[in-house]
Structure 1
Amino acid sequence: MARRDRLVMLTTLAVLQALTIVTGVYAVTTDFSLGALTSGSSPTEPTASPAEGSPPIPVVTSGPVLAQLSATSGDGPLPTKGTLTKQLASALGDQALGGRVGAVVLDTVTGEQIFASNPGTAVTPASTTKIVSCAAALASLGPETRLSTRTVQGAKPGTVILVGGGDPLLAGPEAKQGDYPKQASLATLAARTAATLKSQGVRKVTLSYDTSLFTGTPKAPGWKPNYIPDGEVAPIYALTIDEGRQDPEFRSPRVADPPQFAADAFAKLLGKQGISVAKSVRPAKAPAGAAELGKVDSAPLYALVEHTLTRSDNDLAEALIRHVAIKEGQEASFAGATKAVVEVLRRLGVTQDIALSDGSGLSIRNRISPEALARTLALASAANRPDLHAVATGMPIAGFSGTLGNGRRFTGSDSRDQVGLVRAKTGTLNNINTLAGMATTKDGRLVTFAFMADRVPVNAEPVLDRLAAIVARS
């Protein structure tokens, strides 16, 4: 069987098999020539695409990554530059892309530019920003790091403080478990806290909450005023349940005060565990060295990164870069977090243009060059950077998962033959369309690419899909 036919067959079978598994089980093995993957908007008035801020739905995604995900697993011959250049240059001439376009295709083995058109142009990246945010998080924090939400003893007897650990996926009492990754639960934290209190003979408490882990404004520079009302993102706080959704099953509305909402829910959960809670629940700072009463941990960071990229999760992206800021000695604000991300990327060797105002890509002030995105993705597939592999495995699969599996992408006659053979992150705001990812050429060479346009007249997604398909079939 030809190598290409085998890749198509294995990829398709793996994904179809995963789609038939009972909801709640998300184990899938995909041969994508990236090595074995094993499960475990207008520049002045942006509006996030519904696909970029979608509500929770079951998706196929991957878990722990096997070590053979690497550039050396895609070391076939390079595609013929002349042919590839001609085809990409022709597609880049499509008027749907508008007046400013940057493009680059990189060989992951040598780092060589196989194709480039304005590769250093700093373009508004939209949600492809999440690629650099997630890479920085993995590099700084490590893929096994977990985010902890705790309760501690207050300064006075009979006082409890709920301490936000910066985990926006913390499941509230109405959340339904079974999705990937498995979420930490506020109900579990209440049960553990109540058990500790009862062991101490305490049945009545005063509850406070601490959100001091994150600092600064909860809204980023460059966010449109309707982002929060429309449910694209919640105000960013260290204590949040269900990503600030009033009902975890729906994207909107988001609650105005996520910490208070979470603390009030926790008070009710304690009551159900037999602990009476005083009516007033207010913010407070946990004393240094306070005794821990209970704790719950998030899924490991690699799973959070995969979720962030596959779902284009704005809330989690913003939380992750704040944890990077803390680890890197910066303040856990938008300014400190974005500074920390850029510093980590420079340490990794990604020195091309990156200027950030947020971690999700909702801000129209962000600027990233195609070269920087493609270099970051090349690092994520490198044999010597297994800590970054979750960036690669988190990429949506063309036609199947995440923002590439919404029924709109890779459906044209010039791209649908590459369904299942491209992994890429989308970016969409008004008049902004970007796509950055990776593919294996027909001869087995692993390449990364970034195609970015931020002066799009209407919609350039079909053209970006065509460009990625050209790379994959080259």
Structure 2
Amino acid sequence: MPSVRSKAVAAVLAAVILAVLATLVHGPWKGTRLATGPDGDTQRVASTAMAPPVLAPVSGDPAGATPTDAGIQAVLGPLMKATALGAPPAVAVVDALTGRALFGANQERAATPASTTKITTAVAALTAPGPDHRIATRVVPGATPGTIVLVGGGDPTLTALDGRQYGGRYQPARLSDLAVATVAALKAAGTTQVRLQYDTTLYTGPAVHPIGAGNENIAPVVSLMADEGRVDPSIVGKEADRVQTPGADAAKKFAAMLKSSGITVEGAPAAGTAPAGGAPELASVQSPPVSAMVEQMLTVSDNDMAEALLRQVAIAKGQPASFQGGTVASRQVLEGLGVTYGASDLKDGSGLDKDDRLTPQTLVQTLTLAASPKHPELRWALTGLPIAGFTGTLADRYGQSSGAADAAGVVRAKTGSLTGVSTLSGLVRDRDGRLLAFAILADRFTGDPGPARAAIDRMASALAGCGCGTAG
């Protein structure tokens, strides 16, 4: 077992590496650290602004020696033959600073990406509608006198709780704040009795994800929900039972809040539509910015947030706010940025659909874009990636018994896991200090995913330990 002192040293090392990665890519940053999401427990630690560290030159190059193709081949080639992987995975490694391909094995094969799909969703959302965009949930007068309409704008963060379980700059919109503002507006107009409708017409197409209804990984995708439709809203960051009518559930909670503040709500909330032509607003609350939601989505692998962000991309690009419209819009954004889509073909924004296909090439090109100083608006697609052994869906990996412990705090990557699928894609600094982008997609094994996951972690660890600019 590692000593307390060694753990403390590792934690400090991880913080330093985090600062180096952030400043190497885009400079100091602020954000929130989140521990494991739907695949485990959640903990949140607010980060603070970090000053740029002074980086000593390595091998005469402040960015680290340029890796060689042979060096990468020497360390990855043998590891790809691990029997736990079932068949050699689809892999790509590029120099994150130049985009130069360093290693490829089936890199143009479209494999099942699982939750590494969220990397593409993140970059698309940070491009359109952009990092500063916020999603409004509104209350407007209804078409019938005495009626008000709760209008869903697609905010996946809206909470019926008090919000104290959240920290840092990630501050979800609170349904209670919306109720307080609505009550004030109604009483100012002399109104103490209303009928409540709720409008979920922003989204089109099927609400139920292709994996089917009743799945604990995701609620029906609608434009109005509270606490991601969880039956027990206090459960955060884990699989949980979901209500099947999230819009109606949110409206019922909102009605209860109005009643507790002295407004009589006649009957049960009913589905409706806000009047066309821009009805005057009684009250509204706004989500955190897209940048904060992207960090949350990536770190805890939040499926509901991924699908909501995908629909915001669709709206920004003039596509239907649906699974299909979102994936069409996301592809438009990525190809517009210069990403080679090739055989990639996505069906959703979360990666839950086993029919999703991404090539390693698409993933590493997307990560390289996010690492480019030409695209500071994409920085959150990197700062949201879990840190090996410390945060998010990598918090419980890269331990002492993993065979990959040397990469704890060094690898920063998005995980993916489905039956017969284990994937990892992100960034790593090699031993020479060079920043590499990688994607490892294993989707052809059977049985326990643990050994496949460990084999992939050893591959990422090998990249971290490689002196790839010399003999490998």
Q: Work out whether the TM-score is over 0.5.
A: yes
Under a length normalisation based on structure 1, what TM-score does the superposition of the two structures give?
Answer: 0.87
Shift of 1:230: 4.5
Q: Tell me the alpha carbon deviations over residues 198-226 of structure 1, each in whole angstroms, 9 at most, x when there is no partner.
A: 110111001000001111111233x1x3x
Question: Aligned residue for 1:38?
Answer: 29
Q: Secondary structure at the match of 1:31?
A: helix
1:466 equivalent in alignment to 2:451: no
Question: Aligned residue for 2:469?
Answer: none
Shift of 1:9: 9.1
Is the CA contact 2:331–2:341 (under 8 Å) kept in the aligned structure 1?
no
Counterparts of 2:62 and 2:91, CA distance in 1: 22
Is the CA contact 1:64–1:302 (under 8 Å) kept in the aligned structure 2?
no
1:142 equivalent in alignment to 2:130: yes
Question: Aligned residue for 2:80?
Answer: 92
Relative to structure 1, the CA distance from residue 177 to residue 266 in structure 2 (aligned partners, 3 Å threshold; closer, same or farther) is same
Under a length normalisation based on structure 2, what TM-score does the superposition of the two structures give?
Answer: 0.87
Question: Aligned residue for 1:19?
Answer: none
Counterparts of 2:13 and 2:78, CA distance in 1: 34
Question: Aligned residue for 1:391?
Answer: 381
Question: Aligned residue for 2:307?
Answer: 318
Counterparts of 2:90 and 2:149, CA distance in 1: 50
Relative to structure 1, the CA distance from residue 15 to residue 150 in structure 2 (aligned partners, 3 Å threshold; closer, same or farther) is farther
Is the CA contact 1:62–1:394 (under 8 Å) kept in the aligned structure 2?
no
Shift of 1:32: 3.3
1:236 equivalent in alignment to 2:226: no
Relative to structure 1, the CA distance from residue 394 to residue 64 in structure 2 (aligned partners, 3 Å threshold; closer, same or farther) is farther
Q: Which moved more, 1:386-395 or 1:353-362?
A: 353-362
1:161 equivalent in alignment to 2:149: yes
Counterparts of 2:300 and 2:272, CA distance in 1: 34
Q: Secondary structure at the match of 2:329?
A: helix
Counterparts of 1:327 and 1:64, CA distance in 2: 31
1:304 equivalent in alignment to 2:293: yes
Counterparts of 1:172 and 1:294, CA distance in 2: 16
1:416 equivalent in alignment to 2:416: no
Match of 1:76 among 64, 71, 80: 64
Counterparts of 2:250 and 2:330, CA distance in 1: 28
Root-mean-square deviation (CA, aligned residues, Å) is 2.5
Question: Aligned residue for 2:333?
Answer: 344
Residue 174 of structure 2 aligns with an amino acid whose one-letter code is S
1:259 equivalent in alignment to 2:256: no
Shift of 1:81: 3.1
Shift of 1:444: 1.7
Q: Tell me the alpha carbon deviations over residues 164-199 of structure 1, each in whole angstroms, 9 at most, x when there is no partner.
A: 010122001476443451110000000001001111
Counterparts of 1:174 and 1:278, CA distance in 2: 26
Counterparts of 2:420 and 2:28, CA distance in 1: 34
Counterparts of 2:346 and 2:244, CA distance in 1: 25
Shift of 1:38: 2.9
Q: Secondary structure at the match of 2:307?
A: helix
Counterparts of 1:61 and 1:97, CA distance in 2: 36
Question: Aligned residue for 1:24?
Answer: none
1:202 equivalent in alignment to 2:191: yes
Relative to structure 1, the CA distance from residue 77 to residue 124 in structure 2 (aligned partners, 3 Å threshold; closer, same or farther) is same
Counterparts of residues 162-311 of structure 1 (less than 5 Å): 162-173=150-161, 176-179=164-167, 181-221=170-210, 223=211, 225=212, 228-250=213-235, 251-288=239-276, 289-311=278-300
Counterparts of 1:198 and 1:65, CA distance in 2: 46
Residue 109 of structure 1 aligns with an amino acid whose one-letter code is L
Q: Tell me the alpha carbon deviations over residues 272-321 of structure 1, each in whole angstroms, 9 at most, x when there is no partner.
A: 11111111210111002111011101111110000000000000000000
Counterparts of 1:14 and 1:300, CA distance in 2: 30
Counterparts of 2:189 and 2:17, CA distance in 1: 48
1:335 equivalent in alignment to 2:324: yes
Question: Aligned residue for 2:433?
Answer: 444
Relative to structure 1, the CA distance from residue 442 to residue 10 in structure 2 (aligned partners, 3 Å threshold; closer, same or farther) is farther
Number of residue pairs the alignment of both structures matches:
439
Relative to structure 1, the CA distance from residue 141 to residue 404 in structure 2 (aligned partners, 3 Å threshold; closer, same or farther) is same
Counterparts of residues 401-412 of structure 1 (less than 5 Å): 401-405=391-395, 407-412=396-401
Relative to structure 1, the CA distance from residue 462 to residue 137 in structure 2 (aligned partners, 3 Å threshold; closer, same or farther) is same
Residue 279 of structure 2 aligns with an amino acid whose one-letter code is A
Question: Aligned residue for 1:369?
Answer: 359
Counterparts of 1:334 and 1:266, CA distance in 2: 28
Is the CA contact 1:175–1:248 (under 8 Å) kept in the aligned structure 2?
no
Counterparts of 1:142 and 1:231, CA distance in 2: 29
Runs of 5+ unmatched residues, structure 2: 1-6, 467-472
Counterparts of residues 43-82 of structure 1 (less than 5 Å): 53-54=38-39, 57-60=42-45, 75-82=63-70
Counterparts of 1:325 and 1:170, CA distance in 2: 20
Runs of 5+ unmatched residues, structure 1: 1-7, 17-27, 41-50
Q: Tell me the alpha carbon deviations over residues 363-415 of structure 1, each in whole angstroms, 9 at most, x when there is no partner.
A: 0110000011011011111101001110000000000000000x244544531
Is the CA contact 1:324–1:340 (under 8 Å) kept in the aligned structure 2?
yes
Counterparts of 2:399 and 2:351, CA distance in 1: 23
Question: Aligned residue for 2:4?
Answer: none
Q: Secondary structure at the match of 2:225?
A: coil
Residue 460 of structure 2 aligns with an amino acid whose one-letter code is A
Q: Tell me the alpha carbon deviations over residues 210-258 of structure 1, each in whole angstroms, 9 at most, x when there is no partner.
A: 001111111233x1x3xx5341110000000000101112342100110
Is the CA contact 2:424–2:441 (under 8 Å) kept in the aligned structure 1?
yes
Counterparts of 2:52 and 2:255, CA distance in 1: 44
Is the CA contact 2:129–2:313 (under 8 Å) kept in the aligned structure 1?
yes
Shift of 1:53: 2.1
Relative to structure 1, the CA distance from residue 123 to residue 84 in structure 2 (aligned partners, 3 Å threshold; closer, same or farther) is same
Residue 217 of structure 2 aligns with an amino acid whose one-letter code is E
Is the CA contact 1:75–1:444 (under 8 Å) kept in the aligned structure 2?
yes
